[in-house]
Structure 1
Amino acid sequence: MTFRFARHTNNIEQIKSFYIDILGFELLGGFENHNGYNGVFIGKSNENWHLEFTKSEEIVLFNFNEDDILVFYPNNKSEFDFIMNKIHSKKIEFIKAKNPYWNNSEASEGKMILDPDGYRVIISDLKIK
């Protein structure tokens, strides 16, 4: 099965920069003026998932809550450390999760941040062997 998470945004360039430059994903493709929408596909090559972000003339009024989270599990410690170093260098603040599980250091050394749209993102080292 292939998975795509699609979300509309007001600033596709900020979103693209965040997910590529900070989280280390790749620009897999995109489109312009497809029925009034521009979009980008972001993820990792040769994986069966990707994120799609679209923009149109419509202004997005975001309607997600504190439990709506994208959780990413880096494959190894160096990938996790790379992302953490990018987050620190860009002075992105960590925030506390509403769900106490994500704040439990025994469950994960991962951290929660906000993407440019205010959507919650967790980078977790739980799966690192």
Structure 2
Amino acid sequence: MSVAPKLRVARPSDDLDALLRFYREGLGLDLLYRFEDHDGVDGMMLGSPGAPYHFEFTRARTHAVGRAPTQDHLLIFYLPHPAEWQAAVDRMRAAGFDPAPPFNPYWDRDGLTFEDPDGYRVVLQKAAWNA
């Protein structure tokens, strides 16, 4: 029996606390783990316990990374149930995050795009992932 791979998306940041607020309070992810000064790097993992993915954000104490290089760097969450999608949008807005116009207008057809504090975009897509 094969085991499905797990995915970790890792990216550096200059402000872990701002990202924590966006991904935990806005998107509703859990803080799974946080570390400080691991060879000069601080970091955290966010996700949902048992999910096959999580996000790792790190901050090197001696290196600034700046903002996203473009507005088309996306994480897309497919939420096919309208009530679940609306709850996710409401949670983002209640946490103080307003939708941002997407670079690609396709994402406005059945979803909303939000920009995290580093300028990377998250799309809440009201559709099933049919891959």
Normalising by the smaller structure, the TM-score range is 0.7 to 0.9
1:16-72 deviation digits (Å, cap 9, x = unpaired): 111011101111112211110011000111111100000122111235212211111
CA RMSD, aligned part only?
1.8
- State whether structure 2 residue 102 is matched by structure 1 residue 97: yes
How many residue pairs were aligned? 124
TM-score, length-normalised on structure 1? 0.85
Q: Tell me the residue number matched to 2:8.
A: 4
**Distance (Å, rounded) in 2 between the aligned partners of 1:84 and 1:102:** 14
Match of residue 125 from structure 1? 126
Instruction: Measure the CA separation in 2 of the matches of 1:77 and 1:29.
Output: 31
Distance 1:26 1:72 in 2: 15
2:19 aligns to what SS in structure 1?
Answer: helix
- Distance in 1 separating the partners of 2:95 and 2:28: 13
Give 1:15's aligned residue. 19
Distance 2:100 2:21 in 1: 20
List runs of 5+ in structure 2 lacking aligned partners.
Answer: none
The code of the aligned residue for 2:99 comes to F
Unpaired runs of 5+ residues, structure 1, are none
* Cα distance in 2 for residues equivalent to 1:75 and 1:48: 18
Identity %: 30
Q: 1:75 to 1:52 in 2, by over 3 A?
A: farther
TM-aligned CA distance change 1:45 to 1:37, over 3 Å? same
Find the aligned partners of 2:68 and 2:24 in 1 and give their Cα distance: 24
Superposition TM-score, scaled by structure 2 size? 0.84
Structure 1's consecutive aligned runs of 4 or more residues displaced over 6 angstroms after TM superposition are none
